[in-house]
Structure 1
Amino acid sequence: AVLAAGGALGLALSHACAAQDTGCGNGVVEAGEECDDGNRNDFDGCSGRCFVEIARCGDGVRMGSEECDDGNRTPGDGCDQNCRRETGADADADADVEIGDGRDGDADLGEVEALDGDADTQDADIAEARDGWECHDPVCDFVPQCGCTSGQKCSLVGAERNCVTSGFLSEGRACSGDSECAVGLFCAPAVGSDVPLCHRFCEVASDCLGPGSRCIVPISAGSTVLAVLCSISCELDSGSGCPAGTRCKLFQDGDGTYLTDCTGDVGTGRVGHSCDEDGDCASGFFCAAPGFPSCVQYCPYPGGYCEGGFVCRPFDPPVSVGSSQYGYCG
């Protein structure tokens, strides 16, 4: 009964907000706004406060006409002083930093591709290496955090680790810059999204916190992995743990463990709406094919709330994230 009431209240609130859809992020340039691109995301040319963003070469964020931005204005490292890609003997092909996707497949609940690696073996090896651990990096270390003074954190600036100002935002919160995220966290875009989120640095799964969070998201420069981030712990049915503009999505690790992360492929389809992929469905739903492709609702099993009078049924085999088992409404 509590879940049903919560679902009804959520719908009522969403309709009320839609009726008052004015201000920054509504796609209409209004008084006091320089631009309005229909969202409140930073780093896309129009800021979260609806002011035109200017690309600044050397700030580590590629925007506008910049072909690259490695966090400096030093020529000869693959990205020149004007943020143009370099070619030739002096250019470093590994200079462009990318946020990777270590998840090889999402749970379409038909066939789920496994991720590579044995997390338990890796954890044991790292634990042994950390016995008697000291901060050895000449600048600083991501995990455990060391080498920086109070009020700072070890983070990535371009392709280099360095001490930067730390913030207070917790893991999974939307961020507009790395300095807003707390110690041990890094501001990086959610998969398939322009929404940057605070992600936790990690070396192994045990560094990650919360059910569904696993050490699988690489940050790389070419073939060199600079750091790895945790996926974000979130709830499949409610979307809790993921900010607006993202959804909680299900993946599976190489050892068969289900994991979660916030991704940007979120649509509007609900019960019975036709779909071609998960991104056509709203948060809390996935695209299945019970005779024809349609959006199906996740639910906590047993006894979870279902829209439209459906009943929460278990997956076969069962789908569990941490101690929580999920089902589908059918």
Structure 2
Amino acid sequence: MSGPDDSVTVLVPMLNSEQTVRELVAQTCEVLARRGVEHEIILIDDGSSDGTWLIAEELARTCEPVAAICLTRNFGQHNALLCGIRAARMDTIVTIDDDLQHPPTEVPVLLDALVPGIDLVYGRSQHYRHGLFRRASMVIVKSILDWWFRVPFARTTTSFRAFRTSLRSSFDESPGREFSLDALLVSATRNVTSVVVRHDSAGSRRSRHTLATLMRHVTDSIMGSSFAPLFFASLTGAAVVAAGVAGIVAYVIASLAGTSLDPWWLAASIVGVLWGVTLMALGLLGNYAARLLMRSTGRRSYVVAQSSGLRGPDVGPQG
């Protein structure tokens, strides 16, 4: 067989997943074996407090395609995935949640969509099995991302992805503690599409995606894609300064022409100029500070405590 899925690495970030990890691995192995591709499954324990790591380590010892990585604490889903991406040794990477809401049987749907000319595929569902609040939160979050990135796939970003492993070369350096994997991928390619996949219920298991984590994802995506928010602050400050100066000029012209304007007009214009200059300065200083921080920060994206069954690149102990 030839094509983008000659070999596949499946990454599973896990948090308290002892109830689902065995079934997830069994289904994934069956699906990929049936497809006839070389594959590996990397389980990344992101600071679980239950028996997740013990099960993952057992699977890594007893099931040849499985490897397991244990992080020292909970760093976040995208951080855990970055660790797995660096350890992957296959041509294509698939990321899938640990709660079985994205069925492993849908992995071939993503792989089939990863045709020549496409580097990244998202699996989206037309009918998500979430509560009303979660669905509303997702709509708001994805609308913000759509408005920010101005690209057709922003609304379809999900944690169920397939992409070419070669994309990781564009973010070899550590992005720091706070970042968005999707922002990193978008910085590497715009050859992106999405396909409809089945979405199952998580049952009694509580999702790790709360409104707080979704909004954090928005912030990390925006700040991770560019310094435009800081530039926008400076631009807004410049506009306020211009309006303030125009107000002062209007007041002076009116006074010379013998027309009386309320003193608050001049006061408001002066305050506007001062406020605008302050905002411009904050934007410029923030831009410099952000660039210096990105170059000098020592904060790691993750720290590996231990691993089992890894046969690919070394990921640690720090990323």
TM over 0.5: no
TM-score under structure 2 normalisation?
A: 0.24
Between Structure 1 and Structure 2, which shows a larger proportion of helix residues? Answer: 2
Query: Higher relative contact order by CA 8 Å / sep ≥ 6: 1 or 2?
Result: 2
**The structure with more radius of gyration:** 2
TM-score under structure 1 normalisation?
A: 0.24
